[in-house]
Each structure stands twice: as C-alpha cells, then as structure tokens.
Amino acid sequence: MLELGVLISGRGSNLMAILDAIDAGTLDARVRLVISNKKKAAGLAKAAERGIPTLAISHREHPTREAFDAALVAALREVGVDWVVLAGFMRIVTPVFLQAFPNRVVNIHPSLLPAFPGVDAQAQAVAYGVKVTGCTVHLVNEGVDTGPIIAQSTVPVEEGDDRDALADRLIVEEHRLLVEALGLVAAGRLEVVEHGARARVAIRPLP
C-alpha cells in the first residue's frame, strides 16, 4: 500500500480523484496527510470533511525555499509518508525536498510535456494554436516539469476553446491519468532507468 502525502495550493480536485479511487478500492493507497501552502485552500476543507489529516504551512513564514521545504519534509516524515503527490501545488520544490523522497515525488501537469512547461499550460496551448494537447504524470526532478514521464494522455483542442474551456476538458483526463499512474506505482511496476545524462521511467509488465 502506498503511504501518500499530497501537496495542494487550491481546490484539490486531483486530490479528490485520488481519495475517490481509494474509497472505490481501485487504488491501493492511503493519504496520510494533505498539506497546503495556503491556509484557505478549498482542498484542505474537502480533505478534512473526509477524515484526512490536513496541515497549512505557509511559504511566507519561512525565510528561504529550502527552509519551507524542510518544514514540509518534517511534517510528511512524521506521519510515515513514503510517496508524495504534487496535486496543483504551485511551488517549485528544492533539492532539500527531492533528496528526502528520491524518485518518489509525482506531479500532474496539464500539457504533453515537454511542450508548455511551467505556469498556465492551458493558456499556452490555446495561444500557440495547437490542435492536440493533454496531460502528463511525471516524477519530479530539479528542473521545471522536466522529470521522467510516467504516463501521458491526449485531449483535443476544439475550435473556439478558450483557456477555461480547455482546462475543464483537461481536468477530467488529469483525474483519470493520475490515478492510473499511482496504480502503477502501487503495483511496483515503475523502474527508474538511467539514460545518458537523463533518467526515464520503465513500466514493468504484469506478472
């Protein structure tokens, strides 16, 4: 069973998808703690309503990014977390965090990486005029959305889409793909393979 910590900054819809899958018995995991860097994040209240421990740790109350990450690590370790999911967490984690959970930090991003990394990938896709975008679940490294890719899924960009319409279509696929990727982790099917200067994820076949 995966012992998860989930970091959020907003409404926590991807967190809810994880909790729904756990409740349905389709994801062998337990969410030990939900942390937000924003005390009024709607996802904290939603998690608490479902009996999940929550914590608000403001980045503004720490002098450096590294000090903030050290506080996150301490809270996650205290409750026995072994994998961390960044589910709409709007902070770039530092080596302090990544070294505490090596190759065990998962992020969901609303584009087909390496296209449109960083903030507001949906708006980037609309502005660029692509006909197809999607979402990516990947392991987190020290770059911005550059870690080894676990899974991807495509979503069409329809005529007349604006940023919000595309985001609404993408979020449905994000929920599905994130749960699917975490299922691969829970089944022990992920292997990180060194590939030259980069690493990649290999998916072990079913026995």
Catalytic residues: 109
> Could you tell me which residues are beta bridge partners of residue 202?
191
Pairing of strands 105-109, 83-86: parallel
DSSP one-letter code for 93: P
Per DSSP, which regions of the chain are E strands?
A: 2-8, 29-36, 54-56, 83-86, 105-109, 132-139, 149-156, 190-195, 198-203
